Structure 1
């Protein structure tokens, strides 16, 4: 519908509607075309990091393999920022990881710790792009990660990873930190796919 008709049907002023439409366009949901109808985008190909936060607000619409996709993304990024963090600030990495010994066997506690660990590593890496990327899916991670950590095997696996990364940081060995993290992220993805019956490989856009 025309802007005037849409504003009337929604009961809002046209400037308010226009602002909302431009916000949706900036987030990749729609394309505004001067003199032509506004087009609703395919968010799988046109979406931005804002899409992740929006998905977190509507858990009933989350695609089943989304956790697997997030783990794949982390597998690609985490080894690099873990290496850089241990090289730049091993003492701070050690301080963060030392807190893992106090973690209770509770899914939300693990999810919070794991998120803060990765944010700390990204920040200490010295490359703010890593932090920006992680910030883009914080809300979604906090909603979905407890599903992984509800599994005793997931919590046990993460404890082993934290210990091994702590050893690498205490040894001030960036290469070892990278290897430990790469191995752990790949194994974490495999574990999730097994727990979900392989769901991490189904439903991907374009398959």
Structure 2
């Protein structure tokens, strides 16, 4: 897919904001200056600014240059994706943020999926029997599992949220699963979850999920602090 000029400029402006060339409440250069700098027409600049405003990066002002926002307070899910795409390596603290989010999010769509599609849930674990013990394999399995479970929930918002992170989830998961003890803990969870689901013990399956989400966060924090 060919990237539009406005998309390229949007990314470059986001990079400048993240690198603090412009800080919160700073005005961006006027449209005319931006058009000259990027060698495009003003309509292209205007379209890029509209994209930035949509995702909380700036506030467009009539008759004045756009103002840089505090994107942590004014942004949305796409803002997080934009931030992560700016990094070649996913920052450790972002993995903490995602693991904290999963503590609340994952048990909810697991519960919904189990209540409505228990047999289909069981089928998702078939690849587990031949899962290679390496970070990439675990990351791919975990992503497919999370996405497919969310899709089985009657609430479509869960899947929409996960889809927002599709391009970066793998990077975060591979970094997490580099640690053998993390893979071991997840494998134990997968086995116990499947056993509970086969027995029809949906409460235990949901409880195991919540416990595993908490454990994952604890393991990662230990790793960040230099532990094993």
TM-score (norm: length of structure 2) = 0.82
For residues 63 and 204 of structure 2, the distance between their equivalents in structure 1, rounded to whole angstroms, comes to 58
| Residue 38 (structure 2) pairs with residue 10 (structure 1) | yes
Q: Which residue of 2 aligns with 1:148?
A: 176
| Residue 185 (structure 2) pairs with residue 157 (structure 1) | yes
Q: Which residue of 2 aligns with 1:24?
A: 52
**Conserved 8 A contact 1:55-1:140:** no
Gaps of 5+ in 2: 1-28
After superposition, residues 71-110 of structure 1 pair within 5 angstroms as 71-110=99-138
1:131 Cα deviation after fit: 0.7
Q: Deviations over 1:107-138 (max 9, x none)?
A: 11111110111111111111111111111222
Runs of 4+ in 1 over 3 A off after TM superposition: 60-64
Aligned equivalent of 1:125, options 153, 156, 162:
153
For residues 182 and 94 of structure 2, the distance between their equivalents in structure 1, rounded to whole angstroms, comes to 17
Instruction: Return closer, same or farther for 1:143/1:61 CA change in 2, 3 Å cut-off.
Output: closer
| Residue 63 (structure 2) pairs with residue 35 (structure 1) | yes
**Conserved 8 A contact 1:29-1:43:** yes
Instruction: Return closer, same or farther for 1:190/1:21 CA change in 2, 3 Å cut-off.
Output: same
For residues 192 and 133 of structure 2, the distance between their equivalents in structure 1, rounded to whole angstroms, comes to 19
Q: Which residue of 2 aligns with 1:182?
A: 210
Aligned equivalent of 2:201, options 167, 173, 182:
173
**Conserved 8 A contact 1:111-1:146:** yes
RMSD: 1.7
Q: Which residue of 2 aligns with 1:202?
A: none
| Residue 228 (structure 2) pairs with residue 194 (structure 1) | no
1:35 Cα deviation after fit: 2.0
1:5 Cα deviation after fit: 2.2
TM-score (norm: length of structure 1) = 0.90
**Conserved 8 A contact 1:82-1:174:** no
Q: Deviations over 1:179-203 (max 9, x none)?
A: 010011111111111111189xxxx
For residues 195 and 98 of structure 1, the distance between their equivalents in structure 2, rounded to whole angstroms, comes to 30
RCO (CA 8 Å, sep 6+): is it higher in 1 or 2?
1
1:2 Cα deviation after fit: 2.0
